[in-house]
Structure 1
């Protein structure tokens, strides 16, 4: 390899980012209404008059569609698309880059610890970059006709109003639980990688080969692996999502925050709702995120193949 040759790891970095961005956009565009429902369940502590109550996921979808129309079901869609596309693109770029760094250092196949560290490090950087986008998305998703304050008219208006009324620091509300949620992505990617290696080993042992060059794995396999890893991660980290959503709510009319910090959310949630309060909306979350993860990894893996990224670049 000549000095001017950047090598395969550098050559394919933008392809990993593109594959991740396409996967993120596809996921959001397909399943956004369930994300709206999940967020509204998460912030509903039963004590706020301006938050509607829903019996279950189906009732929530029906109620939002009837009272707010398609616009309500797709509230926060713009920041969700931007955030998901940027997050997944940046995540896959950093994740693969960090894995390559560990691989060069060890000269061996990566173990679960390497995958966990790679995913956690990539997730932390993505979290710091995208927290303002997710805060705006949360606020747009939970504003309803019951709100007393002037609603945000869109993504740009929300950014401008938050900066004007609350200052730049407001964009990083919920950053603490967001950083804790790095464990979610770390667990998901570690489980995905280990299940992927196990699946390849099983198929290889049975003599199954693939025409698509991915060692026997097909689209259905990637869908199952993506959904399984996501469900495992959700069950472990969901309470952090509830805490973050409640911290990111818009201040009351008098300008005071509903919760003063993460520990305040934990105490109040447990006091009034018990352990169940930390899992509000998990049904809609599973309904959304299991297929979402399948779509994400299927689109990601197939985009990699479409743009010619070798399967060995893992």
Structure 2
């Protein structure tokens, strides 16, 4: 049987080396490493000589741009030669850093290797080193020798600033606020009055303590990968499509008019049409991301008191869900989710109106950059209003996606909830939802606005 591993990770290894061997241990193999730095110099020298030779053969200037194939061949060949010539230093360095055998210094390691294995011992692993170095050299060549079309890259960034900002904001906010989301889901899934498939929590603080005691910080971040994927994808698509471009950009009038052509009817108010467009966008995004939301809910509802876990992670949950329940399982809770898309639409409508009002009050253009305090207040206020008004849809959706109890359809879930606990039951977890949604919205939009402005500033 194999014994226990000496080091559990990078930090543990660093600490143990420092304690046991001191500074000397941290710098084992330093001398052959220094000599081995000649590897890069040798490669660069050979590479440049090959380029000059090729330019002379073609009758070009020394710094002329060559064919991509030439760069590829020269880069791979020079890397091969440099690696082979300087490889013994890599062998010595590796053996000096090995904790399993005492090697002594550079000279002793070199002499011992020659005595036991001959010259061949100094080239052990050379083939694999070249196999590894060749693709690395090709990647280096691709990034350094080929001309990158900076203009096109900047244009793409400028066109997708909302997507980049929304994606970043979704990831940052989820990484901070996921524990509150988990508590909200567990409270919403609790049907009460004798229907117990989960631990009974006395308060949010009690729930946090019990989860932390049983599973540590990992327990509070159950389902975080699915949550992060779903939120980042949803915010990126939602903010890139219609709403922000319509509401914030002066140049998006044409895009808005095209969107209005799809609507079966129009209202006298452009704001109402904006709201309808936002709902359609939200429905489209949800149809794409709903399977990931189902996975996130189910991972969050794997309780610490359960005998065994049904799912080991996001991919495992997706596969089992599809095999066990088919496409229908992947789209559980879609109907209340579609109604719930009005939350983001309402949220963004309020947010954009507040932002436009603030810009107007300051005498600035519509899409001007405001300070972070304005973004914070506007996003928190708009999210509170939208979440409180439409929370019952979130609760129904969560209960329909719960794998611990059959829920039936959306209507049956609403009726059963009203019978058991009344209207109050439709707002279970609403407090935590606002406690989670407000900081999440603040983080999302402050990140979004700043990342978006950063992207725009680097594209001009």
Task: Give the TM-score normalised by the residue count of structure 1.
Answer: 0.85
Asked whether the equivalents of residues 39 and 141 of structure 1 are also in contact (C-alpha less than 8 Å), the reply is yes
In structure 1, the partner of 2:256 is 102
In structure 1, the partner of 2:232 is 85
Task: Compute the displacement of 1:147 (Å).
Answer: 3.2
Q: Is the radius of gyration larger for structure 1 or structure 2? A: 2
CA distance in 1, matches of 2:159, 2:277: 15
The counterpart of 1:197, out of the listed 333, 350, 356, is 356
Higher RCO, 1 vs 2 (CA within 8 Å, ≥6 residues apart): 1
In structure 2, the partner of 1:70 is 217
Matched, 1:289 2:437: yes
Within-5 A mapping of 1:250-269: 250=403, 252=405, 258-269=406-417
| SS of residue paired to 2:166 | helix
CA distance in 1, matches of 2:330, 2:234: 16
Task: Compute the displacement of 1:149 (Å).
Answer: 6.3
| SS of residue paired to 2:216 | helix
Matched, 1:227 2:386: no
Asked whether the equivalents of residues 302 and 309 of structure 2 are also in contact (C-alpha less than 8 Å), the reply is no
Matched, 1:243 2:396: yes
| SS of residue paired to 2:160 | helix
CA distance in 1, matches of 2:423, 2:238: 31
CA distance in 2, matches of 1:81, 1:105: 29
Asked whether the equivalents of residues 182 and 300 of structure 2 are also in contact (C-alpha less than 8 Å), the reply is yes
Matched, 1:184 2:184: no
Cα pair distance change 1:59/1:72, threshold 3 Å: same
In structure 1, the partner of 2:161 is 15
Cα pair distance change 1:134/1:197, threshold 3 Å: same
Residue-by-residue CA offset, 1:289-313 (whole Å, 9 max, x unaligned): 1111111111111111101169xxx
Residue-by-residue CA offset, 1:30-58 (whole Å, 9 max, x unaligned): 11000000000000011432212222222
* Alignment gaps of 5+ in structure 1: 1-5, 253-257
The counterpart of 2:330, out of the listed 171, 174, 177, is 171
Residue-by-residue CA offset, 1:103-157 (whole Å, 9 max, x unaligned): 5789xxx942233123212101110000000000000001113336642111111
CA distance in 1, matches of 2:183, 2:435: 11
CA distance in 2, matches of 1:237, 1:93: 24
The counterpart of 2:306, out of the listed 138, 142, 147, is 147
Aligned residues: 291
Cα pair distance change 1:277/1:309, threshold 3 Å: farther
Task: Compute the displacement of 1:62 (Å).
Answer: 1.6
The counterpart of 2:171, out of the listed 25, 38, 46, is 25
CA distance in 1, matches of 2:244, 2:180: 32
Task: Compute the displacement of 1:14 (Å).
Answer: 1.7
In structure 2, the partner of 1:49 is 196
| SS of residue paired to 1:308 | helix
In structure 1, the partner of 2:452 is 304
CA distance in 1, matches of 2:424, 2:395: 11
CA distance in 1, matches of 2:239, 2:412: 34
Cα pair distance change 1:157/1:94, threshold 3 Å: same
Residue-by-residue CA offset, 1:256-279 (whole Å, 9 max, x unaligned): xx2110011111100011111000
Asked whether the equivalents of residues 75 and 141 of structure 1 are also in contact (C-alpha less than 8 Å), the reply is yes
The counterpart of 2:279, out of the listed 120, 128, 138, is 120
Task: Give the TM-score normalised by the residue count of structure 2.
Answer: 0.59
Residue-by-residue CA offset, 1:207-260 (whole Å, 9 max, x unaligned): xx79xx9647211100111111101100111000000000001155xxxxx211
Cα pair distance change 1:54/1:233, threshold 3 Å: same
Cα pair distance change 1:203/1:56, threshold 3 Å: farther
